[in-house]
Amino acid sequence: MIIVNNTRPSEDEKELMNIYNDIYQYWNLFGSDGFSGNISLKYMPLNKGYFETPYWLINKINYILNIINKCVQEKEKLNKK
């Protein structure tokens, strides 16, 4: 937890830090397909298959992938302008 000017982070800042930490933790599982720039799941966690991985973990990874791909799309829109 980062404390700046003797103030504690708000609940929103804590939520953002949790999302950032999750992205950082699972980033090595993702990879780009090259041409389109979209990020996809390249490796499965826990050395298991898709259906052997716990449901909550698959949901979390898919949520993170959606966030990353939305950011990539927004960045591409800004670069085209």
Instruction: Summarize the confidence of residues 31-56 as an average pLDDT.
Output: 84
CA nearest neighbour of 41 among 21, 56, 26, 24: 26
Work out the percent of the chain whose per-residue pLDDT is above 90: 11
Rounded average pLDDT over 31-51:
83
Distances (CA, A) of 81 to 14, 37, 70: 33, 18, 17
Q: Is the pLDDT of residue 50 over 70?
A: yes
pLDDT of 4 strictly over 70: no
pTM above 0.85, yes or no: no
What is the spatial distance between Cα 50 and Cα 60, in angstroms, rounded to a whole number? Answer: 13
pLDDT at residue number 2: 55
71 or 8, greater pLDDT: 71
In the chain, what are the domain boundaries?
A: 13-80
